[in-house]
Structure 1
Amino acid sequence: MPAATPASVPDTLQQRLLACTGCHGNEGRAASDGFYPRIAGKPVAYLYNQLLNFREGRRHFQLMSYMLDYQSDDYLREMAQYFSSQHPPYAAPQKFDVSKATLEQGESLVKSGDPAHKIPACSACHGEALAGVNPAIPGLLGLPRDYIIAQLGSWKSGARRAAAPDCMAQIAEHLSEQQVGAIAAWIGSQVADSRARPADHVAKPMPARCGSMPSADVAH
């Protein structure tokens, strides 16, 4: 019998990005393991910056670096644009045991910060609804607790870096382990509104200058 003709695979961006959705979930909605983040609907410049950071070694995850090492800037922009335009429903928050006091502390830090220890509110930069701000500040909605803990820990240790001035590294330096856990627990326990979209601008001057938003107004 003649050999079967191999199935034809369409050369489309969606087909090529199956390499991403294998970990980040269909349409980039996030996996269920609590580690891989949602990338769907994030501001396009944020996604592009993170792809660059992995390619250039400012962020470290072997699989990401391996896939991105030889990709062009234009292709990274195309990838970022695709996932930024996706808006699938958010998954339900993961179940975990945490005290009421921890959740209250986390909510206070997210909404009001801790000025005495030079910790601004998360909402001061990431938006009142925590849905992010265009063009380059990510939303925090739907991020798993374990992922948030891992990223804040990476900033504290210097394993994760961003364009200077690296405002998140500066903020993370002032966070205690307890505060990191509280912030992650509160954000990770919230039910995300699938209608939420990144804001078009920061509502108030940002509390610190940030390399990812070089033109943003900064409070003095």
Structure 2
Amino acid sequence: MLPTRIRTTLATVLALSCLSAAQAAAPTDDPQGMTTRVAACTACHGKQGRATPDGYFPRIAGKPAGYLYHQLVNFRDGRRQYRPMTHLLDHLSDDYLREIAEHFASLEVPYPPPATPGLAATVLAQGKALVLKGDAAREVPACVRCHGDAMTGVAPAIPGLLGLPRDYLNSQLGAWKTGQRHAAAPDCMAKITARLTSTDITAVAAWLAAQPVPVPSKAVERSALAQPLPMDCGGVQ
């Protein structure tokens, strides 16, 4: 059974989804109206989208607008599986979702300090090596090749990897590996995670979650990447 707080949060989301659907037909140029429109989002993702201690509701504040928009569309269209999100977004238009994405992308709020990893140093070293260097023998590119040297993401559509709970990172990488999460074709993350072991995923998630978020924490521009992206990814120009 889900923890009480999560069950309560999900009930709140389902209730607020009716409000969001009604708001979708209303004018969208009212800044105060935006607070009401995203109330269902912040019920799970925390005040201003800062994330919550539960571990499975990630931070959305400050993420690249293109990335947030693609994830909203993926939930709505069934490429990502989470019933409360699908129910919430089912009848919302592309333009409406884009405005929500741009709202959260514009927020600049501080990150909490990273959690203590609580894993063996050898496991963390394995995660660090995959993030920073990859594994050429298995054709696994380093995470920094796409997500930027500082791992804060690349505008407009590649997210940062820092400031996320270990449980969330672990679950999402695992979902890609098992085919429960998808992205627009070509799904590069599905290809990469298929080449990783469960131990690799645990190590990567633990090391990333233990890293402090640099300041500034905004995504860099594509021109800041030292090399071209190592593979084609859907939704990334």
- CA separation in 1, counterparts of 2:139 and 2:36? 45
The residue that corresponds to 1:152 in the other structure is: 173
Q: After the TM superposition, which residues 111-130 of structure 1 pair with which residues of structure 2 at under 5 Å, given as runs? A: 111-130=132-151
CA contact (8 A) 1:93 1:191 kept: yes
| Deviation for aligned residue 1:84 | 0.3
Please, which of 145, 148, 152 is the counterpart of residue 131 of structure 1? 152
Q: After the TM superposition, which residues 37-116 of structure 1 pair with which residues of structure 2 at under 5 Å, given as runs? A: 37-116=58-137
Moved over 3 A (4+): none
1:118-156 Cα shifts (integer Å, max 9, x gaps): 111000000000000011000111011110110011101
SS in 1 for 2:132: helix
Q: Which moved more, 1:55-64 or 1:187-196?
A: 187-196
Q: Tell whether 2:191 aligns with 1:205.
A: no
| Deviation for aligned residue 1:44 | 0.5
1:50-76 Cα shifts (integer Å, max 9, x gaps): 000000000011111110001111110
| Deviation for aligned residue 1:38 | 0.8
- CA separation in 2, counterparts of 1:75 and 1:197? 23
| Deviation for aligned residue 1:96 | 4.0
SS in 2 for 1:98: coil
The residue that corresponds to 1:33 in the other structure is: 54
Q: CA RMSD in A?
A: 1.3
SS in 1 for 2:232: coil
Structure 1: gaps (5+ residues): 1-9, 216-220
Percent sequence identity is: 50
CA contact (8 A) 1:89 1:194 kept: no
Amino acid corresponding to residue 156 of structure 1 in structure 2 = K
| Deviation for aligned residue 1:95 | 3.1
TM-score (norm 1): 0.90
The residue that corresponds to 1:167 in the other structure is: 188
- CA separation in 2, counterparts of 1:109 and 1:98? 16
Higher helix share: 2
Please, which of 42, 53, 61 is the counterpart of residue 21 of structure 1? 42
